[in-house]
Chain A
Amino acid sequence: MSLLGPIGLSMWMWFAAGAAALVVSAYIIKMRRRRFEVPFAQLWQRVLQQKDANSLWKQLKRLISLLLILGILGVILFAALDPTLGAVDRKARSVVILVDASASMKAMDGDEGGTKSRMDIAKVKAKSLVDSMGGGDLAMVMKVDGQATPMSRFTNDGPMLDKIIDDKVTASDTPADIVRALGAAADALRDRPNPLIVIISDGAYPDDQLKRVDWGNASTAARDLAAVDLSKFDVRFMPVGRRDDNVGIIAFNVRRYIANKAAYEVFIEIENFGKKPAHRLLTLYNGQTAVDSKQIDLLPGQHIRQIYPKIPGGEDNQLRASLRPPRGSDSEGSTDAFPLDDTAYALLPARKKQRVLMVTENNLFLEGALLVYDNIDPLKVTPAEFAAKPALADDMDVVIFDDYTPETLPAAPTSLLFFHPTGSHSPFAIRGEVSAPKITEIDEGHPVMRWVSMSDVYMDKSEVFAPDPKKGESTLAFSVTDPIVVAKRDGRRKILAFGFSLPSANRDAATDLPMRVAFPMMLVNTLDWFAGDQADLLTTYATGQRERVPLDGVVGATEAEVKAPDGTITKTPVLDGLATFYGTRVGYYDLTAKAPDGKPLASISLAANLASPSESRIAPSLELTLGGRKLIAPEAFSITHSQKLWIYLLLFATGLIVLEWITYHRRITV
């Protein structure tokens, strides 16, 4: 037995002596009695004389009462010393408790009945660990999901740690990054005495993570620089989890067809991680409408890929895939303990028809190229008609000026496409003209230039622009050093200008660009760019991974609001029009960038899925091997053997108090 109390033994003895003296004094001092008048005290005197014959026993009874009180005092003071039974490591430890809070910890197989999750059991184990700490031990609780989050400082305050474990440690929908967590724990424990790391987990980690641990055995040359150095740390493992049967959606994506953006195709990948055949009903929803439903049967370990081609677009752009037990099936093989990966979410990029106004003198090349694009509603006027009535551009999404430069640009947010703008009304400054330019360089990263090749394109002449980067103007194509295709954002609208003319009736040799595949491609890219629609924009992400998401048209905003599926709103930084997205829950997210005055600048909806085979593979590991070393089972964890005695001592003292009370009031010890 050890005494782990915070009070020193010498101080305790002084305190005990003082308390004992106080108790004895309380017995010695004269009792203040209630006075009672009697008619003939002599009778009482006679009785008392007889009783005095038993005075020795009377004094002894008082002595018993005194000894009883001293006993109670002694038991309470002894409890204050925190006596502890069992093998207690007297060397104070510094413990980091890594509680796995990854998605697989949501599996409902904590107990036999399936009423508790793995996380519930992990919390119980973490708290038992905290409760068994010795007097000098310090512990820190760290939550491990896609990130490693310390939930407390190093403390020996057991109740506080218990409360943190109960209230703040919750499982997220992300995979666990155990390497990052071990690194954080190692950093926290550096230079602390007797460091100890305890991992409470189901052990569902990717193999590559488990290998990235260095125990100090490898030679310097063979050492993995990305590995976590745990050579100075004692690492233990406490497993949780029971079942291994699970069928989950491990991939779910959707994309529009480039040619027909009203239709889309869906890709789903499903895997049976269990050891028995499984049956599920796979249903695909567009909004609340079921688009397709079919039963799938999977052998153990089998995974299937399912593609749904040419699904016509509905009104809702939210897609959802769901795995459910087939109708009329029993529970055997049709349900599992991990429902999180039974539902997946995806989003279709928003799509609408653009109203396009062409200001041109019957340019068949331009009109013909636009005809291949279904998602526009074109309108044509001559430059003279437009000059007479500029209000024609008011309701347009896009205005194309072909060899014509209006005196006044249509108002925003109408986007503008110029072919051969001239004069002082040009949206871009013109610094000269070049004859027979050759396009020598294009900005392949710009959406307009995607999949476009402009080598060997002939032009008889072209304006040379003078783009100002400070105004957001950029060059998309150079002729050596002369910018001849430029673009810019002007608030919420975009403007693109080609320095050269398209062939027309009076200048049929102006350029051969319309004869090339690049021309319609470039036009479609331009219209998509104007509409903010990017064919390669991903709107479906995996949780637990940091992504940069483009927020169309955002200039000047430094942060965006993220509305999570559960309604919570957080802030995320925006840099160069790209917002950082990190999903911790599966479902739909809304990202909104706002101006300093609170006006929304741009927004985008995203979907997040678990999409992690390593998390869906919920089979628990009863042992964990890190960097080739098997972690010691928790039975060897010495401090868990200790048994606190103070509560029993207090109960015993309470019993003695009750005994003293009874004997006093029954006049036994009086």
Chain B
Amino acid sequence: MAVPTPVTKLARAANPAQDRSGLFDEKFLKTLEHLHMVSRKVFSGNLRAERRTRKVGSGIEFADHRTYSRGDDFRYIDWNLYGRLDKLLLRLFEEEEDLHIYILIDVSDSMSIGSPLPKLHYAMQVGAALTYVGLANLDRVSIIPFGDQLTDRLPLSRGKNRIFRVFDFLQKCPIGGKTSLADCMKDFVTQNKRRGLAVVISDFYDPAGFEQGINTLRYYKFEPFVLQVYDLKEASPKLHGDLALVDCETGETKEVTVSKSLLEAYEREHEKYCKELEAYCTKYALPFFRTHTSIPFDELVLKIFRSGGFLR
């Protein structure tokens, strides 16, 4: 009987659940406050919901311009500016609404991989930041971790004083397991009748594919907001030699002899997979962000703010 050799983990934290204690420190809190201040610059109005998101075409008050991107509605292109500047710019209008925000964080085993920061930690920091901004803008925010099923949830809350419950929840929620986006989203839409913004933070490494899960959100009139997190070392691994590659979630083993050409092929395949996700989101006009863990989370959040879709 063959004795399996020890598995070398790809930059995976020894035990991410226990490492989460220092995830939300005072510095993190100050960063959140700064993000909130930034978000308020785009806020005006006196409605129940104090936070606005930039939404094209649904309001009457001009807010800003932004660069046209593929899939935008032609009706909102500022043709006067095009005539003057020869640039396609979109006019943005502000519309107030009472928003439910669902932060769905992938806590499967694949998210535990990453160095120096596991993807899971990065996802939780981004999720906490978005939650804080949402809470501060008096939106109703809920956090739902998912893997192959929905194991726990932070109920809908409002008000930024709830942020510490959020931190506590994220530090203690169970993690691990496989990824089953379709099943989890199906459970989510069943359990949450109130429509709203569904921010999905994941690496989208689902053997069954990501489409069905996101489609479920679309079909049930949620507004999916796709945020893909990956680690640079998993996109460009530094491997060589004869290896048995073990899937950290399924345990599936692939025997490979890693050569330079194989690594290049893998990098191309990884990029292709990410592009497929991006193309899918673009196709259905879903906000999509792809980031790696080396980018500071606040920078990502600001990028999200600037692009619109989250703040309206």
Are B5 and A40 closer than 8 Å at their CB atoms?
Answer: no
Chain A hits for B247, CB < 8 A: 37-42
Q: A residues within 8 A CB of B256? A: 44, 48
CB distance from B281 to the nearest CB of A (A): 19
List residues of chain A with CB within 8 A of the CB of B241: 34
Given contacts A36-B244, A41-B254, 11 further A-B contacts (CB under 8 A): A33-B5, A36-B239, A37-B8, A38-B10, A38-B237, A39-B110, A39-B203, A39-B205, A39-B234, A47-B262, A670-B242
Residues of A whose CB lies within 8 Å of any CB of B are 31-48, 50-51, 667, 670
In chain B, positions 244-287 with a C-beta closer than 8 Å to chain A are 244-250, 252-257, 259-262, 265-266, 269-270, 273
| Shortest Cβ gap from A420 to chain B (Å) | 116
B243: CB under 8 A from chain A?
yes
Does chain A have a CB within 8 A of B22?
no
| Known contacts A36-B246, A37-B248, A38-B248; A47 and B10 CB within 8 A of each other | no
- Across the interface, do B10 and A41 meet the contact criterion of CB distance under 8 Å? no
Cross-chain contact of A36 among B7, B207, B260, B270 (Cβ < 8 A): B7
User: Known contacts A40-B205, A42-B207; is A35 also within 8 Å of B254 by CB?
Assistant: no
B246 to A33, Cβ gap below 8 A? no
Query: B261: which A residues are within 8 A, CB to CB?
Result: 667
Provided the pairs A44-B266, A45-B254 are in contact, do residues A35 and B10 lie with their beta carbons within 8 angstroms? no
Is the CB–CB distance between B254 and A39 below 8 Å?
no
Q: Output the nearest chain A residue to B252 by Cβ-Cβ distance.
A: A41
Complex CA–CA separation, A39 to B257 (angstroms):
18
Q: How far is the CB of B88 from chain A (nearest CB, A)?
A: 36
- Please tell me if B48 contacts chain A, counting CB pairs below 8 Å: no
- List B residues 203-252 near A (Cβ within 8 Å): 203, 205, 207, 231, 234, 237, 239, 241-250, 252
Q: A667 CB to closest chain B CB, in angstroms?
A: 4
Closest beta carbon of chain B to A413's beta carbon, Å: 95
Indicate if B12 sits at the interface (CB-CB under 8 A).
yes
Overall SS of chain B's interface = mixed
CA distance A47 to B109 in the complex (A): 22
- B205 & A33 in contact (Cβ 8 Å cutoff): no
A47 touches B265 (CB 8 A): yes
Residue B6 interfacial (CB < 8 Å) = yes
Nearest residue, chain A, Cβ from B257: A670
Q: How large is the interface on B (under 10, 10 to 19, 20 to 34, 35 or more residues)?
A: 35 or more
Residues of B within 8 A of A39 (CB): 10, 109-110, 113, 203, 205, 231, 234, 247-249
| Cα of A39 to Cα of B118 in the assembled complex, Å | 12
Contact: B269 with A33, CB < 8 Å?
no
Are A44's CB and B242's CB within 8 A? Answer: no
14 contacts between A and B (CB under 8 A): A34-B5, A34-B8, A35-B7, A36-B239, A37-B7, A38-B237, A38-B247, A39-B109, A39-B231, A40-B110, A41-B250, A43-B269, A44-B256, A46-B269
Q: How far is the CA of A552 from the CA of B308 in the complex (A)?
A: 130
| B9 located at the interface, meaning its Cβ lies under 8 Å from any Cβ of chain A in the complex | yes
Complex CA–CA separation, A48 to B252 (angstroms): 14
Q: How far is the CB of A8 from chain B (nearest CB, A)?
A: 40
Pick the residue among A40, A42, A50, A670 that contacts B265 (CB under 8 A).
Answer: A50
- Of all chain B residues, the one with the shortest Cβ separation from A50 is B265
Q: Across the interface, do B265 and A33 meet the contact criterion of CB distance under 8 Å?
A: no
Residue in chain A with minimal CB distance to B111: A39
Q: Is the CB of B242 within 8 A of A31?
A: yes
The closest CB in chain B to the CB of A62 belongs to B257
The docked-state distance in angstroms from the alpha carbon of A32 to that of B244 is 9
Determine the residue in chain B with the shortest Cβ distance to A667.
B259
Is B4 interfacial (CB-CB < 8 Å)?
yes
Contact yes or no, A43 B273, CB < 8 A: yes
Partner of B12, one of A37, A44, A670: A37
Is B246's CB under 8 angstroms from A37's CB?
Answer: yes
Instruction: Give Cα A598 to B248, complex, Å.
Output: 92
Q: Which residues of A contact B269 (CB under 8 A)?
A: 43, 46-47
Residue in A closest to B5 when the chains form the complex, CB atoms: A35
Find B243's partner among A36, A45, A47, A667 (CB 8 Å cutoff): A36
Contacts of B110 in A (CB 8 A): 39-40
Compute how far the CA of A391 lies from the CA of B246 in the bound complex, rounded to whole angstroms: 117
Nearest-Cβ distance from residue B246 to partner chain A, whole angstroms:
5
B262 → chain A closest CB, angstroms: 6
- Neighbouring A residues of B266 by C-beta, 8 Å: 43-44, 47
B176 CB to nearest A CB, Å = 13
Do A670 and B10 contact each other (CB < 8 Å), given the known contacts A34-B241, A39-B205, A48-B254?
A: no
B16 to chain A, nearest CB (A): 13
Q: Is the CB of B260 within 8 A of A667?
A: yes
* Structural contact, A34 and B260, CB atoms closer than 8 A: no
> Do the beta carbons of A51 and B265 come within 8 Å of each other?
yes
> What are the residues of chain B within 8 A of A34 when measuring CB–CB?
5, 8, 241-244
Q: Can you name the residue of chain A whose Cβ is closest to the Cβ of B243?
A: A36
Collect the chain A residues with CB atoms within 8 Å of residue B244's CB: 33-36
Chain B residues, CB < 8 A from A36: 7-8, 10, 239, 243-246
List of A residues within 8 angstroms of B259 by Cβ: 667, 670
CB contacts under 8 Å to A, within B1-49, are: 2, 4-10, 12
Q: A44 to chain B: which residues have CB within 8 Å? A: 245, 254, 256, 266
Q: Is the CB of B6 within 8 A of A35?
A: yes
Residues B4 and A33 in contact, CB atoms below 8 Å apart: no
Instruction: Report how far A670 CA is from B113 CA in the complex, Å.
Output: 29
